[in-house]
Amino acid sequence: MPIDNGDKLPQQSFIIASDNGPKHVDFNELFSGKTVVIFGLPGAFTPTCSAKHLPSYQKNAAALNAKGVDKIICMSVNDAFVMQAWAKSQDISDDIIMLADGNCDFTKALGLELDGTKFGMGTRCQRFALLAKDGVVSRIFIEQAGEYKVSAAEYMLANI
């Protein structure tokens, strides 16, 4: 069953890209005492993710911050090097943290895995967006298969 409003995010460490390569980041560093938007997507460099999803958060980062969001996290089942290369190719600023869930551990703990084997992609992340305050989900929006509506930055802005 997928994570829901009122649920605590699973506590674990994460991997993000840095100028010195992959960096382990503790759960508390990202979430404790903070209001965070996480948007998850099936994969870096994929069509909808690159043309719409990631750009929507880049374009609306300041508006989200103005509504009290401390951090914006883009999460995908890719490795940190892929996430870093994707961020560079999309000219993503430091306003968005590119979080690698290479082993799909966080995605599975959220209950948001997607079977992409039919497309040669293995297990991936469903498209979603959530708002968490101090590590507790206050809003979550999970897309239906093949859709891109409720996980867009514009939808999040209208619903927080």
Token pair for residue 100? Answer: 């690698």
Amino acid code (one letter) for 45: F
Return all residues near 130 (Cβ < 8 A) that are at least 6 apart.
Answer: 3, 37, 38, 39, 137, 139, 140, 141
DSSP letter assigned to residue 17: E
How far is 149 from 129, CA to CA, in rounded Å? Answer: 10
- Find, among 66, 56, 57, the residue nearest to 37 by Cα: 57
Catalytic residue positions, numbered: 49
- Find, among 100, 18, 17, 96, the residue nearest to 59 by Cα: 96
How far is 120 from 116, CA to CA, in rounded Å? Answer: 6
